[in-house]
Every structure is written in structure tokens, then in C-alpha cells.
Amino acid sequence: MHTLSLHALSKISIVISSFFALSLAKSQCEICQDIVGDFNKGLQKTLKSNFGGGNTNWEENSLGKWKTSETRLVEIVEHHICTDNEKKCHMFYENHEESIEDWYFNVYKNEDSADSLKEHLCIQTSKACCPQGQYGKDCTDCPTSGGGICSSHGKCSGDGTRSGSGKCECDSGYSGELCEDCAEEYYEQLTGSIKVCLKCDVSCEDTCSGAGPKACDDCAEGYVWEDNSGCQDVDECDGEDNPCESNSATYCVNSAGSYTCEACSPLCSSCIGSKSTDCKDCIPGYEKTDSNETTSSCQDIDECSLKPELCDRVPGAICVNTEGSFDCKCKEENQRIEDGQCIDIVETAEETSTDSENEKHKETIENSNSEKDEL
């Protein structure tokens, strides 16, 4: 048997760690989009702020409009951009700080939102992202069919970024290179000129030609074909071959295409349902309340009334009924059963001393309570 050295294991660990680090690392496009989102939040947070001097008219005449003031920009950058202190975010902002300021002072003043910042910063200036509908380092157009990207039934890998393969990743129910076909277990339906793929009936096995159980090409497991109604559920619980009979204290519940074995009430050894009155047979120590009925509830059997002699084997003992069973106890309270007979309980010196101390403690508490009552 071959074993890996500690050095080899260490190298494997480093490779795995590097792989996960790369998979979690954000792309330049994602970082840029985060900054745009943070900047927009900062604009919203500072929308109703001002210079803080109290004389808004003088401040705007002397310092300029608050909307595109340097004071507001500093507040946004310091309190809203890269707040998670991610190194790559700070580096990206520093590399493109002039571009952001150019947009803020020259473009934003004529707009009401930061919607154009993504176009300005992420696509035109930094070239970290592509316009929607394009992918890859050269911003190649995503594949289209039927007037939409991936037939309007999927997304283009890398859409809007400088990465990705441009291949279509189809929505559920669609397949094909351009998501133009229906996947297995789906059928095609035209809504006007638009083709949509809808899921086959649950009773169908893989393929179908349309909606409902009659359109199934084959029936799924747990269903059977009927000429007038198509694939219909098989009730596994109906009939002599009950699949839950081998499972102790359970009953069968049919479901679409299958069944489950559910637990009986605790006092039932067999049953037809979950209620306490659904017992067909009772667990040992209990009997049906109505033996003439197929099902009923279960009640405790009083073994001592039925067989008073149960404890005769122990001289001086009596039979005491318990839930689901019985017990033999000595008639005299100061006796216990030992070696098949009732014997006197003899207290040891330690037990006697403990009892005496308990009595003294009890008496002290009673006296104390009595004094409180008098007060």
C-alpha cells in the first residue's frame, strides 16, 4: 500500500486551497459593479445632506451646488466605497479615481441617478465589463436565435463580462445549442408565435406529446395505462398485497406514483390509520375495547382481576395492576420481596442516622415557618 509523504500532502493542500481561493475571488467586472452599487447607495444616503453650515443659500453661492460638491464626493468615498476593506476594491478605485471624479463632476450634474456610471466606468474607461449581450475579452456578441439571446430561454456564459465562453446555459425545460429545443420530460406549445416548453404530466415516463396523462408516451413507475384516461396512479395500499404488512405497527398511505408506511398509534401492533381507534390488534398487555369490531381503541388489561393468583408464588404478596402489565408487592409496607418471599426491611445504622437528621431538619423548618406566621 502506497502512502503519501507529508510534503506531497502539503502540496496537494496548497493546490486545493488555491483552487477555492480563485473560485471565490471576484473578477474586475464584479469589483467595478460593486463600486458602482456602493457609489449609488452613497448618493442616496447623502441626497438630503448639505454642507452643515446652516446657511444653504450662502453655501451654494460660495461653495457650489451640494449635488456635485467635492464635500459630498469625499463623504461618499470615505463612508460608502469599499467598506469591507477588500484590497482589490481599493486598488481598483485608486486606479480609476480620475474617471469616477470626471463622471461625478461632469456627467452626474445633468442626471438624477448613477445609472450611467456603470457604462462610463466599467465598460468605457476600465474596460472591466462588456455591454449586456456581449462576452469575453473582445466583447463578442452572444449567440441569438428567434430574436433573442439563446432563444430567450437561457443565458450566455459571461454575458456582460470580459470572461465566459459565450455558450448558452439553458433554462429548465430547454435544450440545444441555442436553447431552441424542449428538454426531456417537456413538450412544445405555441403561444401565438412564441414557443414555450411545458413539463409533462407527473404520470409520464420521460416524454410526452402534450398536456395531461393521456399524452404520455409511456407511464412512469407507479402508474398504469387506462384506455379512457391515460396513465393513472396505482393504489399500492388497495388489495391483499399490502406493502407495509412486513413493517411492524405501520399502515399504508397511497401517494401519486408511490406509497409510504406510517406509524400506528403507540398501543396498536397493527392498524389501518393513525388514530387510537384504528387498531386492528393491540400490543401485549392491552386489548381492544370492542372485540366485535374490525378496529377499535386499545385498553389496559387488568391482569390482577383476571388472574388474582398471579402473585401466589410469593407468600404475603398481592397483585398490583400497572399500565400494560402488573407487579407483585408485599401487603405490609415495611416489607419487600427478596428471594421469592416478603421480608422485613431492616434499616442500617447509617440509614437510621440519615432519617433522624432529616426529621430534625424538617422540624427546624416547621418551627421557623411558625415563628414567621406569628410575626
Compute φ and ψ for 347, nearest 5 degrees.
Answer: -80, 140
Instruction: Report the pLDDT value the prediction gives residue 14, as an integer from 0 to 100.
Output: 43
Stated as kind and residue range, the H or E segment containing 76 is helix 70-80
Spatial distance between the Cα atoms of 190 and 355, rounded to a whole number of angstroms: 91
Spatial distance between the Cα atoms of 281 and 251, rounded to a whole number of angstroms: 12
Query: If we measure between CA atoms, which residue out of 169, 124, 110, 119 comes closest to residue 142?
Result: 169
Spatial distance between the Cα atoms of 97 and 28, rounded to a whole number of angstroms: 15
Per-residue pLDDT tens over the stretch 269-281:
999 999 999 999 9
Per-residue pLDDT tens over the stretch 274-331:
999 999 999 999 999 998 888 999 999 999 999 989 999 999 999 999 999 999 999 9
Compute φ and ψ for 63, nearest 5 degrees.
Answer: -105, -10
**In degrees, to the nearest 5, what angle opens at C-alpha 105 toward C-alphas 102 and 107?**
80
Average pLDDT score over residue span 95-117: 89
Instruction: Report the pLDDT value the prediction gives residue 80, as an integer from 0 to 100.
Output: 93
Query: Is 50 a residue whose pLDDT tops 90?
Result: no
Compute φ and ψ for 151, nearest 5 degrees.
Answer: 60, 20
Count of other CB atoms within 10 angstroms of residue 74: 10
Q: Which residues pair with 144 in a beta bridge?
A: 149
Query: Residue 290: left if φ>0, alpha if ψ -120 to 50, beta else—which one?
Result: beta
Q: Which residues pair with 361 in a beta bridge?
A: none
